[in-house]
């Protein structure tokens, strides 16, 4: 099972849209997913076992070896296919 954190400023609107897209992507590609949705300032409390961090805003902070991917394209509709490829690359 892969653990993905999806974070935004308020952990409601944009992260929900991104989380739903990531869930659908993983389901369609046979990836078991443990998805955690939170605020950006709560990421550190969920790091244990995390494979990928997806945010809907730019984050300058690093979290060790865990990759951080900005997924605002799921909100704007720009480069969605590239985002999906990148996410699958990290999780497969």
C-alpha to C-alpha distance for 22 and 34, rounded to whole angstroms: 11
What is the helix, strand, coil percentage profile of the chain, to 5?
40, 25, 35
Domains and their CATH numbers in the chain = 2-91 (3.40.50.2300)
pTM of the model: 0.94
Residue-wise pLDDT for 38-87, tens only, equals 999 999 999 999 999 999 998 999 999 999 999 999 999 999 999 999 99
Q: 54 catalytic, yes or no? A: no
Q: Which of 8, 26, 38, 54 is catalytic?
A: 8
In this predicted structure, the answer to whether residue 11 has a pLDDT above a threshold of 80 is no
Question: Region 7-25: what's the mean pLDDT?
Answer: 90
Neighbour tally for 55: CB within 10 Å: 21
Residue-wise pLDDT for 24-49, tens only, equals 999 999 999 999 999 999 999 999 99
């Amino acid at each position: 099972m892969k653990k993905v954190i999806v974070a935004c400023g308020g952990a409601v609107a944009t992260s929900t849209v991104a989380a739903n897209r990531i869930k659908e992507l993983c389901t369609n590609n046979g990836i078991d997913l443990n998805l955690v949705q939170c605020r950006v300032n709560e990421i550190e409390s969920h790091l244990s076992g995390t494979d990928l961090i997806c945010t809907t805003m730019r984050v300058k902070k690093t979290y060790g070896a865990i990759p951080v991917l900005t997924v605002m394209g799921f909100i704007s509709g720009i480069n969605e296919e590239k985002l999906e490829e990148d996410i699958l690359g990290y999780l497969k």
